[in-house]
Amino acid sequence: MSAGRTLVIACGALARELVAVKALNGLDHLDIACLPAILHNRPERITPLVRARIRAARGRYADILCLYGDCGTGGALDAMLAEEGVARIEGAHCYAFYAGIADFDALMEAEIGTFFLTDYLARHFDRLVWKGLGLDRHPALRDDYFGHYRRVVHLAQIPDAAVSAKAEAAAARLGLPLETRATGFGGLAAFVSGAHAAAER
């Protein structure tokens, strides 16, 4: 066993931020294993792949954590994690991790027609959203997909002019006004740092 070490199994969309949290908080005991972010397009594959990572790591770590939302698994991920005895960060998705659950709920209550961007989604908007939905080939579909949205909210983790510009460009392509909320790492940092503090007690 890796004495005192913790494995965090995470969505690849959180990789950069998780590495930053590890460095900023001196969490040298953390090892990170990320699954491809593109699994969001195939959520039925998330649960078995996370389970396989857990079982491959079992006995080699003092603790294993899961940094995923439900991410479209329909509760299957949580059911499997309960069976395996692995804790998951609170929240249904990364928007709630970053904004905080209460603030995310308030944002949705204020405007249910909100399209959210994280830094990751802003950086990869073209590939994941525009091309992923076929809007590069069929731009007329934009209003079918996004006609009921009223705003874009960029939940910004790290101040970065280039990412801000990409968020502005994404909102412009969708024909929606942009709001930016600086969230930092939100619940992500608290989850992995809290697990470390509990392990040390």
Q: What is the pLDDT along the chain (201 residues), one digit of tens a residue?
A: 556 899 999 999 999 999 999 999 999 999 999 999 888 888 999 999 999 999 999 999 999 999 999 989 999 999 999 999 999 999 999 999 999 999 999 999 999 999 999 999 999 999 989 998 999 999 999 999 999 999 999 999 999 999 999 999 999 999 999 999 999 999 998 899 875 444 444
- Domain count for the chain: 2
Residues 168 and 194 in one domain: no
Instruction: Look up the domain containing 106 and give its range.
Output: 101-182
CB 62 within 8 A of CB 4: yes
Residue carrying structure tokens 């509760």: 75
Q: Which long-range contacts (CB under 8 A, 24 or more apart) does 157-166 make?
A: 157/17, 157/98, 157/118, 157/119, 157/183, 157/184, 157/185, 157/186, 158/17, 158/20, 158/119, 160/119, 163/119, 163/122, 163/123, 164/122, 166/122, 166/123, 166/125
Residues 79 and 9 in one domain: yes
Rounded Cα gap, residues 28 and 158, in angstroms: 21
CATH of the domain at 29: 3.40.50
Residues 75 and 149 in one domain: no
CB 28 within 8 A of CB 38: no
